[in-house]
A and B are shown apart, each in its own frame.
Chain A
Amino acid sequence: AQTVTQSQPEMSVQEAETVTLSCTYDTSESNYYLFWYKQPPSRQMILVIRQEAYKQQNATENRFSVNFQKAAKSFSLKISDSQLGDTAMYFCAFMKANAGKSTFGDGTTLTVKP
């Protein structure tokens, strides 16, 4: 069984600064995907970024990037130039390729302060 751990229940950052959210996971699988999802107060789940385990290059999406360390089973999310709209709960998620089970972390509540 896979486990996903987000060790920071709450974090805060000043607007325009950079923040890193941590995620570690445990699996014996070799082919899998990792995701970060954002849940603003509207409660909608929104994909932030996606990483394929077989790709060594870290994924980036505009101000969002990941530091994927496969051997260490670490998948942190870096948010640059933080904006007030980034205030949300962030979930790290694991999904085995072509398989149904998915596992989410407990979430990190991020507050961006003006």
Chain B
Amino acid sequence: EAQVTQNPRYLITVTGKKLTVTCSQNMNHEYMSWYRQDPGLGLRQIYYSMNVEVTDKGDVPEGYKVSRKEKRNFPLILESPSPNQTSLYFCASSLIQGMTYNSPLHFGNGTRLTVT
């Protein structure tokens, strides 16, 4: 089954304790992206990757890191989490072909992160 898998689904942590949210897709998609969802603010893009070893900032990258060492994986790293990073996080992937084609985003099931 084609899917984007995020882990964990729920995470409660304390301020300053490094954490990683994993994201993996099995569709051989070039494009992967991380979003955070907060009430009234929709989804805001954190980082994205157009291909292996190619990453770029979205609209809200502060406090986050990513890496894309393999095509299928795109982990989100919070080196020193703070309470304002409490949010619902989504990973997504998409097929990009040539200069003009983007498939729709395929989303993971989300990770609810609470930082106390």
Question: How many residues of B are counted as interface, with CB atoms below 8 angstroms from the partner's CB atoms?
Answer: 29
Interface contact A100-B31, CB-CB below 8 Å: yes
Closest chain-B Cβ to A100's Cβ sits at a distance in Å of 4
Mark the stretch among B11-19, B43-51, B69-77, B78-86 that contacts chain A. B43-51
Contacting residues of chain B (80-116) with chain A, CB-CB under 8 angstroms? 88, 90, 92, 96, 98-102, 104-105, 107, 109-110
Question: How many residues of A are counted as interface, with CB atoms below 8 angstroms from the partner's CB atoms?
Answer: 25
CA distance A43 to B9 in the complex (A): 11
Given contact pairs A43-B88, A97-B100, A98-B98, A104 touches B105 in the complex (Cβ within 8 A): no
CA distance A21 to B90 in the complex (A): 24
CA distance A13 to B42 in the complex (A): 22
Closest chain-A Cβ to B30's Cβ sits at a distance in Å of 10
Interface contact B100-A102, CB-CB below 8 Å: no
Interface contact A98-B96, CB-CB below 8 Å: yes
CB neighbours (8 Å) of A103 from chain B are 45, 59
Using a CB–CB cutoff of 8 Å, the interface residues on chain B facing chain A are 31, 33, 35, 40-45, 48-50, 56, 58-59, 88, 90, 92, 96, 98-102, 104-105, 107, 109-110
Which 7 A-B pairs have CB atoms at the shortest separation, nearest pair first?
A45-B107, A100-B48, A104-B43, A106-B42, A104-B42, A47-B104, A98-B99
